[in-house]
Amino acid sequence: MQMTGIKDAPTVDEHIDHAGVGWYQFRLFFILALLVMADGMEMTVISMLRKPLSEEWGLGEMTFAAIGSTIFAGLLTGNLCGGILADIFGRRNTLLGMAVLFCIFGSLSAVATDIISFSVARFFTGVGVGSMIPVADALLLEWSPTRWRARFAMTLIGVAFAFGTFFACVVGIVVHESMPGDQLWWRYMLFICIVPGLISLPLMFLFIPESPHYLFVHDRKEEIKALLTTLNEVNGTEMQAGGEVCHSHDPAISEDNDNTWRFLEMFGSDLLGSTLYLTIAFTSCGFIYYGHIFIYPVMLEQLFNLELKEAYEAVMINSGVECLVIFANIFYMDSSYIGRRGAMITGFFLVSVCCLFASVETTQIHYFMALNAVARAMVAGPFTVIYIYSGELFPSTLRASSIAFSNSFGRIAAMLSPLIATSAIHAGVNAVYYIFSLVALSAMLASVLHTRETLGMPLLLYTSDVRLLREEDEKRPLLTRYVPAMAYWRDTQTSSSA
């Protein structure tokens, strides 16, 4: 039966939940995964090119670290620009433009004639890559049924990223081994690493949809109807209410909302707490994760004199362990007793502990590699959970911008981490791990103090929606606000009483 009043029509989330999971989401996931792979390849490629670039252009340690920081500067720029452009001009247009940028400058870096042209090309490659994750994350969350958000987004951010790392390692090994003595091998590797981006371009043009939440807050209801029609046709379901959508069924929420994009709303009373928390969490994750990716091959060379192929294989092992942890977190963060907050708190605690253990064993290579594989895998947990959590914390008017802004501090931390880790390693390998452990502990404390849980909640459209949730949260007892399991227990007790 077709609903009549706009307030009686399904919300955007209800339409998507009704259509369920099908080929529409799987196709979207595959295309976005090709883009996210580029981010996984970027830092792996540059860390593994340390030797050939140093030999060809005579680079010192700090010069090479500066190249890594230049690449992260590009990732930072892309991060901010991509998120802002996605909230103003749409997710689809932004992804298309940035994918083109990545392919062009990725190719130019492979034919660079000196360190300056190489650094410039990799900077703009980073701009393209840096915009992809926050925008792809927002788009996939906005097309995923509520129960499938964590599964899709965690697999996209975590597994596709790790697969990008794995792909870069395989390409590096195959090209290096098939071209012994050829100093140009690394250029061929860079060309091959843009193939996923090249494949994605025609697929994006043909199949990537705009976000229905973006269209709703920009009052483009007819376009939503067309997309919902396609969604239901592809997934084999019948569309509800002729594609009509409403903001909310809650009478306290007005249909009349200001859809003007206001970047500074992130720092207003409704969103400031979440903005500060995500800034700390992204900074910590970026510093530890990318710092480890960058410095780990260096430590293997210095401590155990590993050859290039062996270093590649070590990074590949880490990526495999990382995928296992990410899959475990998909179910862990969806547990009612744990939720997004609980997964972040325990994740950062385990990162801190694992880094301390990794600092103990620096003489036996197999123990050292195993401990490092676990340490990197542990930080991948909160680093992927946070992309789902951040997308659910912020409204559609600011979702991509907010993820990008908060993650930009992770990019800044990643930009500084090669320099800090390279300097710290001169004081001893233990110093690197002590720094990582302290950073993880600070993020764990921030996770405890941030009390908003988003598990099972609909995606918010406007900042006013956040205000209502914040007011409800402030009425809860302190213990249930700060302990995830206690919050679940209180909610179930309340439901039973009712």
Identify the band that residue 475 occupies on the pLDDT scale cut at 50, 70 and 90: low
Residue pLDDT, tens place only, 268-311: 888 999 999 999 999 999 999 888 877 777 777 777 776 666 66
Give domain status of residue 283, yes or no: yes
Q: What is the pLDDT of residue 490?
A: 46
CA distance 214 to 217: 6
Burial class (CB in 10 A: 0-12, 13-18, 19+), 114: exposed
Does residue 476 lie in a domain region?
no
Please report where in the chains the tokens 């339409």 appear, as a residue: 15
Number of Cβ within a 10 Å radius of residue 60: 9
| Cα(409)–Cα(390) distance, integer angstroms | 14
Q: What is the per-residue pLDDT across 66-107, written as a single tens digit (0 to 9) for each?
A: 777 788 788 889 988 999 999 999 999 999 999 999 999 999
Pairwise CA distance, residues 141 & 53, whole Å: 39
Residues contacting 419, CB < 8 A, separation 6+: 62, 65, 66, 69
Tell me, yes or no, whether 58 lies in a domain. yes
The pair of three-digit structure tokens given for residue 350, joined into one six-digit string: 């385990």
Q: Over the Cα atoms of the chain, what is R_g?
A: 23
Average pLDDT, the chain: 83
Length of the chain: 498
The span from the CA of 347 to the CA of 285, in Å, is 11
pLDDT digits (tens, 9 = 90+) for 181-236: 667 888 888 888 888 889 999 999 999 999 999 999 888 989 999 999 999 999 99
How does 311-334 read in b/e, with b if 16+ C-beta sit within 10 Å?
bbebbbbbbebbbebbeebbebbb
User: What would the pLDDT profile of 51-66 be if each residue is shown by its tens digit?
Assistant: 788 888 887 777 777 7
Q: Which two tokens stand for residue 332?
A: 């862990």
Of residues 409 and 308, more confidence is placed in 409
Is 23 domain-assigned?
A: yes
Sequence-ordered alpha helix ranges (H) in 193-307: 195-207, 212-217, 221-235, 272-304
Domain range for residue 381? 12-216+264-449
CATH number reported for the structural domain that contains residue 362 in this entry: 1.20.1250.20
Among 393, 279, 378, 391, smallest CA distance to 329 is for: 378
What DSSP letter does each residue of 312-339 carry, written as one string?
HHHHHHHHHHHHHHHHHHHHHTTSTTTH
Residue 43 within any structural domain of the chain: yes
User: Into how many domains does the chain fold?
Assistant: 1
Would you give the distance in Å from CA 228 to the centre of its chain?
A: 26
CA-to-CA distance for 468 and 473, rounded, in angstroms? 9
For 256-396, list the strands marked E by DSSP.
Answer: none
State the pLDDT confidence band at 367, using cuts at 50, 70 and 90: confident
Residue 45 in any domain: the answer is yes
- The rounded distance, in Å, linking the Cα atoms of 24 and 32 is 13
Tens-digit pLDDT profile for residues 444-465: 999 999 988 888 888 988 888 8
In a domain, 253, yes or no: no
133, part of any domain:
yes
Average of per-residue pLDDT across 345-361: 86
pLDDT tens digits, 152-163: 988 888 888 878
Q: Is the pLDDT of residue 492 over 60?
A: no
pLDDT tens track for 312-341: 667 667 777 878 888 888 888 988 888 899
180 by Cβ neighbours in 10 Å (0-12 / 13-18 / 19+) ranks as exposed
Q: Report d(CA 389, CA 379) in Å as an integer.
A: 16
